[in-house]
Amino acid sequence: MDLAKRTYAEEELLYHIELLKSDMIKCGMDLGLDHPLTISLSQELDKLILDFQMRSR
């Protein structure tokens, strides 16, 4: 998708994806990849990514 064609909602979603990704990585490094919080963050990240992909079609 062309960057100029992204909507405000898509840009905001990308911002939240990056924040959650950073949180998940930090959590995984601090608590371990199999910690329930890391897994929960990963699942939430998956939902946001899927939402972005569906909007970008």
Q: How many CA atoms lie within 13 A of 36 on its CB side?
A: 0
Residue 28 included in any domain = yes
Over the stretch 12-48, which tens digit does the pLDDT of each residue have?
999 999 999 999 999 999 999 999 999 999 999 999 9
Residue 1 included in any domain = no
Position of tokens 């963050």? Answer: 41
Residue 13 included in any domain = yes
pLDDT for residue 35: 98
* pLDDT at residue 4 is higher than 70: no
The reply to whether the predicted model has a pTM over 0.75 is: yes
Please tell me the total count of domains within the chain: 1
Tokens for 44, please give them: 């939430």
Residue 51 included in any domain = yes
Residue 46 included in any domain = yes
Are 31 and 38 in contact by the 8 Å Cβ rule? The answer is yes
pLDDT for residue 56: 85
pLDDT for residue 49: 97
Domain interval for residue 40: 7-55
